[in-house]
Every structure is written in structure tokens, then in C-alpha cells.
Chain A
Amino acid sequence: MAPSSSSGLTFKLHPLVIVNISDHYTRVKTQFNPPPSLCATENASNNGEAMLQPNPRVYGCVIGVQRGRTVEIFNSFELLFDPSTDTLDRSFLEKKQELYKKVFPDFYVLGWYSTGSDAEESDMLIHKALMDINESPVYVLLNPAINHAQKDLPVTIYESELHVIDGIPQLIFAHTSYTIETVEAERISVDHVAHLKPSDGGSAATQLAAHLTGIHSAIKMLNSRIRVLHQYLAAMDKGDIPCDNSLLRQVSSLLRRLPAMESERFQDNFLMEYNDKLLVTYLAMITNCTSTMNEMVDKFNTAYDRNSRRGGRTAFM
């Protein structure tokens, strides 16, 4: 249903839009699906409203600038969706548009956004409704399902194209490629969001854990890539894959760029420092265990000692 677009426009997406859409979705989802402790009281008072939607869809408008063949999407705002008429709230949209015009005179309504895994038929109605503001609106779709295997952003941009299907000219969605463009200020906010932790990120323990996790994942990625290269070279050596000389040249140049320190002094220093780190870790673990044991003994004494003067024990635990 979504072939590649051939309009020749280049799309640039700002991260602010992505953050906005995901924030909107998260807010709506938590509001409609309260945590289980509150659910018990809520369910008694609500009568049959469809509260527990697994994945509520949110809608909104994207605004930006179109200069020639480049479409740059800067910002977005939310809109209410009316399920009875399947349209977006028009008056609200126009009001918001006027407000934004006052602050950003260059920005036009470029299209709309929603969440979901794929574009649907009903979306076309909304798309057509927006066509009177913008002749060819864009549809930004965010997939809120968290897929750890997927490395790319789950954001797709669709354009509408007129195709002749079964003799009838119809509008269908065609997805286009886009690039991410950032302004300096946006980089700070993206960094902040990327490192957000559920607890307060201020204490040293969580910061250290976060830092080490980052290093760990970076090293894991490096390791897996080196393994891929290694397997590739081994297969080439065995003859399973035809030799690609340009790739071999690239690999050898990469290897020559590595700092190769084989001296014995390096080994000594490296191992000594490694052992020091291990010893410090061991010491930290022992301290941890000792403090846990201390707490446990205190609790045991509070629970089981009849009289603190007598040193005797009453029962095995």
C-alpha cells in the first residue's frame, strides 16, 4: 500500500516533532490506562466507557517551511479527533494556526501526524480534509511499539499521490525518505531525553551505572561488528564468498590504523591496572555484603530477642 514516492521533494524532520508526538502519545496512554492501583477505584465509577484501549491513536498537525523542493518540518501541535465524524477539529486548528502565525510568520501547516503501525484507509479522509489548507499535505506516522531489534527510528513520512487503479484515479499514500535536521538547542534536549532515568538521575550510583551501561553497549556493538568482519574474512579465505579486493583493502587500512602496542611494559601496566580495578570491585562487594549482613542482624535482633540484656538466642531462624 505504500510504494516509494516519486515527487522528488526532500524532507527534513526536526527532532522536536518526534519528541512532541511521543510525548502526546505517552500522556494520552497514561491518562486512559491508569496504573493498576488506581484502576480498582476508577473502574467502579466509570460505566462502560472504553477506558482500556491498548494503543490509543493521537492526532495533530505538523507545521514548517517549504522552500523550493525542500520541505522542512519544524514543529507540531495536537488536535482533537472526533470519532463520530472521523474528522479533526477544524475550528481549533484554525485558531492555533493564527496564534502560531503571529510568532512564526514563515510557518505553514504542512500536514498532520498520527500514531500507529501502518497507514490506514480512514486516514485518507483526514488527509483529503486537510487538502484545502495545503494542496499536498504530508502524513507523519510514529510507531509507538518498542522494538529493541529495530535500529532505525519508527517514524515514516507519507505523501499522497494520484494513481490510476482499476481505471479510477485514487489517492494513495506513498512513503518518502527524510533526514533529521537539528538546531543546537534541539541537540541539548535530545541528549536530555535520551538519558532520562525513572529515578532521579542525580545520585552518583545511577550516573555511574548509566555511564558504564553506555560504555558496555558501545563495546558490545564494536564487538559484534568486528565479529561480522571476522566471519566475512574467514569465509572469503575458505572460498565460500568471491574475493572482493576493494573490501580487503579497506579492512587492511582499518587494521593498520589501530594502535598496536605489543611492548611488555604495556602488558605489565595494563594488567596491573586491571587487577587494581578488580580488587577495588571486590572490596566494594565485600563492603556491600557486610552492610547487608549488618542490617539483617539488626532486624533479627529486633524480631527475635526477648530482652536485649540477655545475650542468648531463642530459636534458630
Chain B
Amino acid sequence: MNKMEALITSIQGLSGSLGDLCALHARLRKAEDSLRINSNVQLSILKQLDPSIHSLGYLYILEASTSGPVWKKKATLLIAQFINCCDAGQIRLASEKFVILCKRFKDRVFKDPLRGVGPMLSAVRKLVQVSPKRLTALHPDCLQLCLQAKCYLAGFSILSDDIVEVDEPRDFHLYCYYGGMICIGLKGFQKASELLYNVVTAPMHEVNSIAFEAYKKYILVNLIHSGQFSNSLPKCASSVAQKNLKNWCTPYYEVGNYYNDGKISELEAVVVAYSSDFENDNNLGLVKQAVASLYKRNILRLTQKYLTLSLEDIANMVQLPNAKEAEMHVLQMIQDGQIHALINQKDGMVRFLEDPEQYKTSEMIDVMDSVIQRTIGLSKNLIAMDNSLSCDPLYVGKSQVGRERQRYDFGDDFDNFPHFSM
């Protein structure tokens, strides 16, 4: 027990400055094994420590106490409290342990996800503080928990941060996949499409199931969002993906083809035919949304051909049962801002209008300003990446060899690079 006492006093004493923390870290690492063995003592030690001041020590003891197969009941509660009030600076020294602890916590609360969403969110925030714009292993776990708990808005707040650096490809795939699902839940189909596109076109050596699922959802989201479907993967997808992904997605391809034809009844027939496949993939809801969006797509096509149209004609052309439903659809689309039109209820005529945005208001100035600021930030990032790539020895080696072979003057190529500066 003396060792434990000594450990407690050292934790309490050395949690001050950075130098002390490094010494404490070394001691804790040595004491790790002994911590694991003495499971009874652990919780009592924890009572003597304060999680916000002695975060590093607390972390080690918590991790040791949860490493076994059986947990004490209080452990989950303690972990949640710890995550909420720990000190980000101290966590930075032992970030892998923190990640392991949070993963175990997530597995524990998976059956009851609502309890875990708050702590996981703050855990991700604390890690992000440590290394901003870097994808950690916790991001996809947190998103998974939010999905399970159906707290889409909480997950969305994580998605709005930009990610510039990625450690593990698998984390990135999972992050984009779950992120896409959260956006679908929030009906933000544009962002969902972008995220799923990232998974589909990510570089990979062999196909993984995440890419499969993502590709199926990607097809459907594209149909809902922009009504476009193409038989081939985007050009920048890796060759592995291009060879293999198509084989398993035939039902979705059929849906896409019939969508392009524009006949509602045939599309519905296809959906019914493959409904078991869609159910297995949990995509039936999305498919139904896609079918509903076909009406909207057809009405949009009508706006490009006609200036005015009667409601019955709309109903006929779009294969809706009657004019009332046509009116409902058109009203819904006007409210969503997808079309601009005027409905004259007396004679049942709809007049399609142009986009009334004149770009004359000061609100538009604010929008433009924020967009330009974002682009400036993006441009800075790009230029930094470009510069670091120019100094990369691989690049310099290859470009120089290429130049020597063709006997170019070294100075010439620098002049040919167009120099833009912002």
C-alpha cells in the first residue's frame, strides 16, 4: 500500500507545471502494471484526487481500472464526469490512453447512447483543442454514438469543423460515412453527398465494406439532391474501387436508370422488386425519399419548358393523381425555395418566374464577405500545402532528374511557373 500512497502524493504534488507533469508521466508509466493488479484500491484512490487538477493521474488510474473485463458500476459515471472536467493540457501528454478510455466508454454506453453523447462530444472538443484540424480516432466514435442516439444536431456540430490532417485512413472513412448519415438525417443532402463522395473516392488498396455501403448511399443521395445518376464512378476514384464497387450495387443501378427515364410507375415497380435488398442495407427510407423526389425533378423540368401551366396539366405530366396534389407539391417546392412561381387559385394556373435575387441588398454583402473570408483561409491552406510539397525531397528528386534528362536550364522552369499572390 505504501506504493499507492506514494503514488497519490506524487500525483497531487506534481500536477502543476509542465516539467513536473513530464516527471509524473514517467512515474505513472512505470506504475501502470501495479495499478492494474490492485483493483480494489483504485476507486478509493480516485476519491482523493480531483479530476480537473490531477487529470493525468486520474486518467491512468481510470484506464487501469477499466482494463479488465468486469467494470464497477460507478466507473461509467466517473468516466463521464472525468471527461467533462479534465484539463486538455494534461491530456495531451497521454492522448492515446485517453482515446482508449473513451472507446471503452463508448462501447459500454452503446445500449444507452443518450447518456454518452455529451461526454463524447466534450472529449472530442478537448482533443481538438490539442491538435486543431486533425482527425482523431474519437471523431467517428462520437458520430456513431450520435447516430445511435439520433442526436443529429450534436453530431453536426463536429462535422462543421474543417479537417486538414488525417492519421488513419480507416478513421477517415468511418468519419465521412457516419457524417454522411448524420447529414441525411438532418436533410442536408449537399453536405451528405460531399462526405460520401470522399469515402467513395478515397485512396484504398483493397475494397472495404465502408466504401460499399457509402457508394450505395451516395447513389441515392445524389438522386435526391441533384437528380443525377451516372453508371460510372467519379474519375478520381481509385482503380480498386472502380473495378469492384459496381458488382454489388445492381439494385441501385436499376433505380438510377429508371429515375433517369422519369416514369414514376416503373420506378415504383423496381423499388418493390428489390425491396428486400434495400431493407437489408437499411436504405429503404432513402429509396422512398428518392421516389418522392422524382416528382420534384419532373416539376423542375417543366419550369424550364413552360412559362405558365394549369394545375391539371402539371398533374398529368408528372403522373400525379389530381390537381390538388399537384398544387401541394408546387406549394411545397415554392416554400423550400426550389422553384419560383405564382399560383393563381381562381383559374388554377401556375406562372413560373425567374429567380428574384437581384444581389442588391446589404445582406447579400454579408453573405459574400463571409464566403470570401472562407475562401481566403482555404487559399492560405492550399498555398502552404503547395509550398511543403515543393520542398518534398521526392518531388525535387523526380523533377530534377526529369529536367536533367531533357537538358532544360534550371532557371527556365522557375520562370514558367505562374506566380499568383493574393
Binding site for B on A (CB under 8 A): 205, 268, 271-272, 274-276, 278-279, 281-282, 285-286, 288-289, 291-293, 295-296, 299-300, 302-304, 310-313, 316
Contact = CB atoms under 8 A, between A and B. Distances in A.
Contact of A288 (B203, B240, B420): B420
Contact of A271 (B361, B389, B402): B361
B389 A299 contact: yes
Interface in B393-409: 394-395, 398-399, 402
Contact of A289 (B358, B368, B378, B390): B378
B238 A278 contact: no
Contacts of A286: 375
Contacts of B421: 205
Interface residues of B, number: 38
B405 to A, nearest CB: 13
Contacts of B166: 316
B368 A278 contact: yes
Q: Which 9 A-B pairs have the closest CB atoms?
A: A303-B395, A313-B203, A278-B368, A275-B359, A303-B394, A296-B386, A285-B375, A292-B382, A272-B360
Nearest to B397: A303
B348 interface: no
Contacts of B382: 289, 292-293, 296
Nearest to B392: A303
Nearest to A269: B360
Given A289-B379, A292-B386, A299-B395, A281 B203 contact: no
B26 interface: no
Nearest to B385: A296
A311 B169 CA distance: 19
Contacts of A271: 360-362, 364-365
Interface string B349-380: 00000000011111011001101100110110
A56 B287 CA distance: 81
Contacts of A281: 372
Contacts of A275: 359-360, 364-365, 368
Contacts of A316: 166, 169, 203
Nearest to A293: B382
Q: Which of B203, B360, B383 has the most CB of A within 10 A?
A: B360
Contact of A295 (B368, B375, B386): B386
A65 B277 CA distance: 102
A303 B402 CA distance: 11
A315 B163 CA distance: 18
Interface string B146-174: 00000000000000000000100100000
Nearest to A206: B421
B422 A285 contact: yes
B395 A302 contact: yes
A299 B364 CA distance: 38
Nearest to B242: A311
Contact of B394 (A291, A304, A312): A304
Given A271-B360, A272-B358, A282-B368, 5 more contacts: A285-B375, A299-B386, A299-B390, A300-B395, A304-B394
Nearest to A302: B398
Contacts of B386: 292, 295-296, 299
Contacts of A303: 389, 392, 394-395, 398
26 contacts: A271-B362, A274-B365, A275-B364, A275-B368, A276-B359, A278-B368, A279-B359, A282-B368, A282-B372, A282-B375, A285-B375, A286-B375, A288-B422, A291-B420, A292-B379, A292-B420, A295-B386, A295-B417, A296-B385, A299-B386, A299-B389, A299-B395, A302-B399, A303-B389, A313-B203, A313-B238
B226 interface: no
Contacts of B361: 271
Nearest to A304: B394
B365 A278 contact: yes
Contacts of A302: 395, 398-399, 402
A278 B361 CA distance: 13
B68 interface: no
A278 B362 CA distance: 12
A299 B398 CA distance: 10
Contacts of A313: 203, 238
A316 B203 CA distance: 7
Contacts of B371: 282
Nearest to B376: A285
Interface string B80-99: 00000000000000000000
A281 B371 CA distance: 11
A288 B361 CA distance: 27
B379 A288 contact: yes
Interface in B229-273: 238-240
Max chain B C-beta neighbours (<10 A), residue from A272, A303, A310: A303
A172 B317 CA distance: 102
Contacts of A279: 359, 368
A311 B361 CA distance: 48
Contacts of A291: 418, 420
Contacts of A299: 386, 389-390, 392, 395, 399
Contacts of A304: 394
Contacts of B392: 299, 303
Nearest to B240: A312
A254 to B, nearest CB: 27
Contacts of B169: 316
A289 to B, nearest CB: 5
A278 B398 CA distance: 41
Contacts of B394: 303-304
Contacts of A282: 368, 371-372, 375
Contacts of B399: 299, 302
Contacts of A300: 389, 395
A253 to B, nearest CB: 31
Nearest to B371: A282
Contacts of A278: 365, 368-369, 372
B375 A289 contact: yes
Interface in B191-212: 203
A124 B379 CA distance: 59
Nearest to B387: A296
A56 to B, nearest CB: 35
Interface string B168-198: 0100000000000000000000000000000
Contacts of B369: 278
A268 B389 CA distance: 47
A292 B361 CA distance: 32
Nearest to A278: B368
A300 B398 CA distance: 11
A281 B422 CA distance: 11
